[in-house]
A and B are shown apart, each in its own frame.
Chain A
């Protein structure tokens, strides 16, 4: 079983739409959670950390449900520039290592 599971998409949405991505993780010992963004043929870049109380950064809202082992990312008022692959990432501290486990990503295309 994969540590992190994501719906691969693709999600094709019009500009201005609201879109939500979901992610589940299998290890209850997971300690930290992140969303990364990866543009085609580029490196992953940190979008936002995910905190237990939920957090917002502009048009982006991340939520964590530890009981259900579930993470979500909501994007409001989608822009063309939001088109990318969004990676759900979970940190499991294993024997003194900062092990990040990545989902395979959800691809988003925002259409004019």
Chain B
């Protein structure tokens, strides 16, 4: 079934550790996104990529980095995890970055930083 795959599904991580959340899509979508969802705050954009080879900062980029080496993969890295990064992380994609394009989401990664 076509879609977006995120890994891991959940993770408990010690503060200070490095962690990479994986995201792969097989829909050949050009644009990809990473969000975090926190209670009372809704989903907030961390980073995005309009097309392979390009990335941009969203609303809450600090402490996170991304890369987009190819169309399918968009990993999110926490270089040195902190407890405030405990959240549910969703990867999404859309056919293009232009307006009117809805985004399709992966199942999410639940991350707890202790």
Contact = CB atoms under 8 A, between A and B. Distances in A.
The majority secondary structure among interface residues of chain A is strand
A97 B56 contact: yes
Nearest to B100: A32
B45 interface: yes
Contacts, number: 66
Contact of A91 (B35, B41, B100): B100
A31 B97 contact: no
Interface residues of B, number: 29
A43 B48 CA distance: 18
Given A104-B40, A104-B42, A91 B99 contact: yes
Interface of B: 31, 33, 35, 40-45, 48, 50, 56, 58-59, 90, 94, 96-108
Interface of A: 4, 31-32, 34, 42-46, 49, 87, 91, 93, 95-100, 102-105
